[in-house]
Structure 1
């Protein structure tokens, strides 16, 4: 095993071998000086992949929860394997909380596209805040504006984001701009608040001010499974809707913002969004309808559980329309190559790679729309 400890990171990682139906665990060594990778199999205690250059992978791709593609294998990073890596990366990388406020939810896709130029989105959820949530999270600074702020932040859905980036909080503040944005429109239109905000209250976005607040806010909005606090409630309406899943390969490729932007600009209404990590059993269960029907079933199961996916509840203003059929047509044919020939403006034509990695899953049958949304937002969300 390699012994160049001064310039390497080591992670705990796993890969599901769909041929052998085995979850394999590794030490993943990454050497940033020359972009090389080595995999050590923890069960056999042997080198699985000798140190080699892996094209398309960069240092910024290595963080807890990330999925990196190494010679067509989707390797998930699940932890740090030594204190050097933990201290080094946690010093460089910061996780923090960002809130997209109610009046810019219809521009969610545009804003996420900007955010993912600089940051990784490591968690995401559309939520409804209560007055208690607003007060407990100290979003109200001035007592005189307390009720106005509470009314504003509870007036509609918000989107909470867990972001990760190098020197993240300071870089976020640079991207967002001053809290009072009414004087910066003409000179700094690249700032998020300059583009979308109106004044110090209606300033489109909120971000953690420091590491201590970030930890508190992330625990409040994205509590761990053992926490008694379950976080603010989901916005899913579970009626007249269809299900769209942005698949793990598209999430990894930072296509979430572009896909959501296309959905919104096509006139669809997004009523719920949440990131999920779907395990193998749930992946098989959700896709069971395709078992024995599509030859790609096994590969589809492997893709859905290969990393985080973004699940979206989609509806429209016309309650008489068939939202499932309309949205399925908007997604395009399952095969992106066919989609590019006959429906080049569809989601799969624009963002898909193969019949399995075709960017999005969408409900097929009219009765499946609500059922698939309920599977995620009622069953798995618990």
Structure 2
């Protein structure tokens, strides 16, 4: 939506929830956004008083405003749970949908290419997790196909190796993602939809890159399977926790649509991504994780702010001497220095400055397993 089209009186209102980790409470606010001024305002629903007076805030945009999204306002992760008034519902209540994109075992190594296609289709990734399904779990997922002749082959393939589950959000996401995938039969896709994902990377009817929910109801059911609302349920992550190092694609890189390019660079360099998951960190978690830099690196406060400013994509990189080799591949913390001395490193290619430098990587070899455990055992426990 073009901001120039808004009238001077436009003000969009949402009901938002924020979990206060210090008090252990779920707090409710009315969030107001003024597009012409780029300003936000918050009202505490329970206490019936102004919480944040009208303040300019450059990191919130019209495209962020839809029910079901999580937005960051001054380091608070707010879940937008409903429209705050009829005007907002009429103007912004649109065709926004969620759908499941499941990347099958044959294309997990091509996850970067798939993400590139997703971003170019005006869809955004709001959740992501690499998992390894058991035969029983795969059969449960495909339960509606159990009477079909290909059921056993389908279940066997899906449970043969890790898969990556993605929650996609966007206008008519269900139909858009299925159109991006193309016909189920990869050979047919090459004849009829040569630009589709299955035409480019698929092999046959079973090894066909991915799965897409076929309806809004199916999407809700399938997303609950991989991303259940009950903590501790659902398929487990694939972290190995040995001979590993941690890589975090920072929020700015994710929001700028660089995740696909960065993952492609990592894979092209020969690194094995053995676990992957999207996290939205609260400030207390970011401070805890980056505590080793407190009082040591002058950018520490800014690093914390960046890390909890939006979703980040966390990877476990597996291999011999992984911390040292991957740290070298990431390059100097300052991308400007990297572009002069080591222009092919990740931070030189995708970073902006010492804070928004595309990726965090484990600095000390002995911390590799600890950093991986922080995300894939503690936060995903």
Check whether TM > 0.5.
yes
Determine if contact 1:274/1:311 at 8 Å carries over to the other structure.
yes
* Matched residue, 1:258: 261
Q: TM-score, normalised by structure 1?
A: 0.85
Q: Does 1:327 pair with 2:331?
A: no
Q: How does 1:130-169 map to 2 (within 5 A)?
A: 130-138=134-142, 141=145, 142-169=147-174
- Measured in 1, the distance between the counterparts of 2:51 and 2:61 equals 27
* Matched residue, 1:199: 204
SS in 1 for 2:343: coil
Specify every segment of 5 or more residues in structure 2 that has no aligned partner in the other structure, as ranges.
1-5, 19-26, 44-48
* Matched residue, 1:48: 54
Per the TM alignment, residue 148 of structure 1 is displaced from its structure 2 partner at its CA by 1.1
- Measured in 2, the distance between the counterparts of 1:252 and 1:59 equals 14
- Measured in 2, the distance between the counterparts of 1:168 and 1:366 equals 42
- Measured in 1, the distance between the counterparts of 2:129 and 2:221 equals 17
Per the TM alignment, residue 46 of structure 1 is displaced from its structure 2 partner at its CA by 6.9
Q: Does 1:127 pair with 2:126?
A: no
SS in 1 for 2:316: strand
Determine if contact 1:8/1:30 at 8 Å carries over to the other structure.
yes
Q: Does 1:367 pair with 2:347?
A: no
Per the TM alignment, residue 10 of structure 1 is displaced from its structure 2 partner at its CA by 2.0
Taking structure 1 as reference, are residues 4 and 27 closer, same or farther at Cα in structure 2, changes over 3 Å only? Answer: farther
Q: Does 1:309 pair with 2:308?
A: no
Taking structure 1 as reference, are residues 187 and 215 closer, same or farther at Cα in structure 2, changes over 3 Å only? Answer: closer
Q: Deviations over 1:284-305 (max 9, x none)?
A: 1111111111011111111111
* Matched residue, 2:285: 282
Q: Does 1:296 pair with 2:299?
A: yes
CA RMSD after TM alignment? 2.9
**Greater Cα offset, 38-47 or 88-97:** 38-47
Of 100, 116, 122, which residue of structure 1 is paired with 2:103? 100
- Measured in 2, the distance between the counterparts of 1:167 and 1:342 equals 45
- Measured in 1, the distance between the counterparts of 2:219 and 2:91 equals 19
Q: TM-score, normalised by structure 2?
A: 0.85
SS in 2 for 1:283: helix
Determine if contact 1:65/1:76 at 8 Å carries over to the other structure.
no
Taking structure 1 as reference, are residues 24 and 48 closer, same or farther at Cα in structure 2, changes over 3 Å only? Answer: farther
Per the TM alignment, residue 99 of structure 1 is displaced from its structure 2 partner at its CA by 0.2
Q: Does 1:171 pair with 2:173?
A: no
- Measured in 2, the distance between the counterparts of 1:361 and 1:300 equals 10
Determine if contact 2:11/2:32 at 8 Å carries over to the other structure.
no
